Amino acid sequence: MPKRQPALPSIWLISDSRNDAALERILRRLPRGSGLIFRHYHLGPTERRERFISLKRLARRRGHTVALAASPAVARRWGADAVYGPPEGLSPGPAMLRLVTAHSLREVAQAMRARADAVLLSPAYPTRSHPGQPALGPAKFRLLAACANVPVIALGGMNLRRAWQLKAPHWAAIDGLCDEMNRCKSRSS
């Protein structure tokens, strides 16, 4: 019997080199059943897998869903609950949530054709990670989100206040959760 997909969390923490030092603290403080999207592109293959396994253990103890930015085959091999990335090369698989990134109407349509389970739509607001890049803003975000026939996860400059403003039931952050938890060490660029 195929394993059932986990429910889609409301809050997602996205890992990156800037928030690495605070990840354990944030994962412990997030509400049970939140999500972790592990990217850590800055690490070599062995270090990346070791860091993933360590964070996956902590996340699972807290009841969090764990997504890996990789191919679906690697995500399954590493024991992730979900795979994260662009729609190209995304293959459906049993018991594997498919989280697809989108930044435009064309990319939302690609995500739908790839049979995404959820779309991370960004940047909703200006972000520290992409300074100067134009943000969608609330009106365009809502318009694009309405074109998706799957749940949309707001990303880009997100925090709890902005999630309420967008009326976004699902949201993700890199720096925003670090700020929300008010426990992060100073960031390195």
17 occurs within a structural domain: yes
188 occurs within a structural domain: no
Kindly tell me if the per-residue pLDDT of 150 is higher than 90: yes
6 occurs within a structural domain: no
Q: What phi and psi values does residue 73 have, to the nearest 5 degrees?
A: -65, -45
* Domains contained in the chain, number: 1
- Residue 174 structural domain: 11-181
Helix (H, G, I), strand (E, B) or coil at 56: helix
- Radius of gyration of the chain from Cα atoms? 16
Token pair, residue 145, equals 């989100």
Kindly tell me if the per-residue pLDDT of 1 is higher than 60: no
Number of H helices, E strands in the chain: 7, 8
Which whole number is the average pLDDT over 64-93? Answer: 87
Cα angle at 95 between 52 and 45, to 5 degrees? 25
The pLDDT of residue 180: 61
Helix (H, G, I), strand (E, B) or coil at 65: strand
Which whole number is the average pLDDT over 170-185? Answer: 71
**Is 75:94 a contact under the CB 8 Å cutoff?**
no
Instruction: Look up the CATH number of the domain holding residue 77.
Output: 3.20.20.70
186 occurs within a structural domain: no
What global pTM score does this model have? 0.89
173 occurs within a structural domain: yes
Residue 183's pLDDT band, with cuts at 50, 70 and 90, is: very low
Q: What gap in Å lies between CA 116 and CA 48, rounded to an integer?
A: 25
Kindly tell me if the per-residue pLDDT of 36 is higher than 90: yes
35 occurs within a structural domain: yes
pLDDT single digits (tens) 103-135:
999 999 999 998 899 999 999 999 877 778 899
Which whole number is the average pLDDT over 135-162? Answer: 95
Which whole number is the average pLDDT over 3-31? Answer: 87
Q: What gap in Å lies between CA 141 and CA 78, rounded to an integer?
A: 33
Long-range contacts of the stretch 106-113 (C-beta < 8 A, 24+)? 108/144, 108/147, 108/148, 109/147, 111/87, 111/148, 111/150, 112/148, 112/149, 112/150, 113/87
